Amino acid sequence: MPLSTVICIGMAGSGKTTFMQRLNSHLRHKKQVPYVINLDPAVLNIPYGANIDIRDSIKYKKVMENYQLGPNGAIVTSLNLFSTKIDQVINLLEKKADKYEHCIVDTPGQIECFVWSASGTIITESFASTFPTVIAYIVDTPRNKSPTTFMSNMLYACSILYKTKLPMVIVFNKTDVEDASFAKEWMTDFESFQHALREDQDNGTHEGSGYMSSLVNSMSLMLEEFYATLDVCSVSSFTGEGFDEFVDIVDKKQDEYNEFYKAERERLLALKEEKEAARKDKSLTGLMKDLGLNGGKSKKKSGNDSDDSAEVVSDLEEGEDDGLVDRDEDEGIEREYTFMGEDRLGGEINDQTQSDLQERYQKAMEQTAKQASSETAENIAKYIRQ
């Protein structure tokens, strides 16, 4: 079985790092040692041994100081810096793919810093284009007792699914504190969720206004189709309960990835390459038109056909239609040039007026020279007086 990648994503406080620690221990207990990657640059300590740790190559506090950023901005910048070397990470995994069955990836607690950033997309697609990849969306079960909070989490999971286009598993964590049966029932029974929402309103614990209730009602009905495509499991990172089920789901997701998601990704990549090739061909065609390299000949169009080629000098070739107009050579035509002037009658220059014109030029030059000499003398006199 090829190496599969599990990317753990979840809201802050949902228990991702503890989930990673328990999953690592569970796989080691089953003699399936995973390849562990930590992508959270701001965490102080991690309760598991990481094969690749972003903190080894990027110092989070130095990023804040050097770039004058806040906590979230520093996390995004750290991920951006790390994503420039993601090809090296993929190469390391490819070399060790025969020794490992699973690669588990921990992400920052600030979910938006990873999911909606360019670096997060680069990292996710780099894994997904090389190995079967599954998104594990971790949900804080006790916090989602409120129908409104539950719906917010499900909408977030839906957006992540359609953004990454990868198989997803909804993991209800902390079941040792609160059993996740209510959440599974809400996902499969629309009327049960409606009843819980009404009870929440009647008890005065509803989070939001009347408009919010109407929106949550509509969203719950819309997400029924979304729930049908999801795999759901409940685990306790504290006790280890439910991790056998989670590992089984991840193994099944490999077949789903190869059957649906991989084919879809290959189709999208082929479409992208086709569009890129068409764009390059269009650019090359435009360049050849600008350079006048249309097959070595200028195309002639008759009638009302329009010519889309660029009207530049390089488009004109030598020959009958080279764009140059010969002078009239008929003996009956004598070309005359006009020199418009107020004291010239018609301004014509011919044999009779040529000598008179030369005298005018000479007088104008002498007058200009005298004026320049007088100005120079005045400037010298001013300088001497000063």
Output the pLDDT for position 356: 62
State the Cα–Cα distance between residues 256 and 65, nearest whole angstrom: 45
Output the pLDDT for position 5: 94
Question: Nearest 5°: phi and psi at 134?
Answer: -125, 140
**Which residues constitute the domain of residue 125?**
4-180+230-251
Pairing of strands 52-53, 4-10: unpaired
Instruction: Give all strands of the β-sheet with 52-53 in edge-to-edge order.
Output: 52-53, 35-38, 102-106, 4-10, 133-140, 168-173, 231-234
Range scoring the smallest mean pLDDT among 1-15, 115-129, 159-173, 331-345 = 331-345
Output the pLDDT for position 367: 76
State the Cα–Cα distance between residues 135 and 138, nearest whole angstrom: 9
Q: How confident is the model at residue 273 (pLDDT cuts 50, 70, 90)?
A: confident
**Encoding tokens for residue 298?**
């200028």
Is the alpha carbon torsion for 338, 339, 342, 343 positive or negative? negative
Output the pLDDT for position 119: 92
**Which range has highest mean pLDDT (76-85, 225-234, 330-339)?**
76-85
Does 33 fall in a domain?
yes
What percentage of the chain has pLDDT greater than the value 70?
Answer: 76
| 229 vs 316: which has the higher pLDDT | 229
**Encoding tokens for residue 177?**
């504190």
Q: How far is CA 358 from CA 113, 136, 335, in A?
A: 83, 96, 21
Q: How confident is the model at residue 322 (pLDDT cuts 50, 70, 90)?
A: very low
Does 63 fall in a domain?
yes
Which residues are 233's β-sheet partners? 171
Which 3 state secondary structure label does DSSP give 109?
A: coil
Q: What is the mean pLDDT of residues 263-287?
A: 85
Is the alpha carbon torsion for 77, 78, 79, 83 positive or negative? positive
Which residues are 232's β-sheet partners? 170
CATH number at residue 87: 3.40.50.300
Does 265 fall in a domain?
no
Count of beta carbons in the 10 Å neighbourhood of residue 197: 21
**Which range has highest mean pLDDT (101-115, 261-275, 361-375)?**
101-115
Output the pLDDT for position 258: 82
Rounded to 10 degrees, the C-alpha dihedral 310/313/319/325 comes to 110
Does 313 fall in a domain?
no
Output the pLDDT for position 104: 95
To 5 degrees, how large is the angle CA 35–CA 39–CA 45?
90
Q: Report the chain's mean pLDDT, rounded to a whole number.
A: 80
Are the C-beta atoms of residues 39 and 106 closer than 8 Å to each other?
Answer: yes
Does 159 fall in a domain?
yes
In the chain, how many domains are there? 1
Which parts of the chain fold into alpha helices (H)? 16-29, 60-67, 71-83, 86-95, 111-115, 118-128, 147-164, 181-188, 190-202, 210-222, 224-228, 243-256, 262-291, 354-385
Does 374 fall in a domain?
no
Which residues are 53's β-sheet partners? 38
Output the pLDDT for position 313: 44
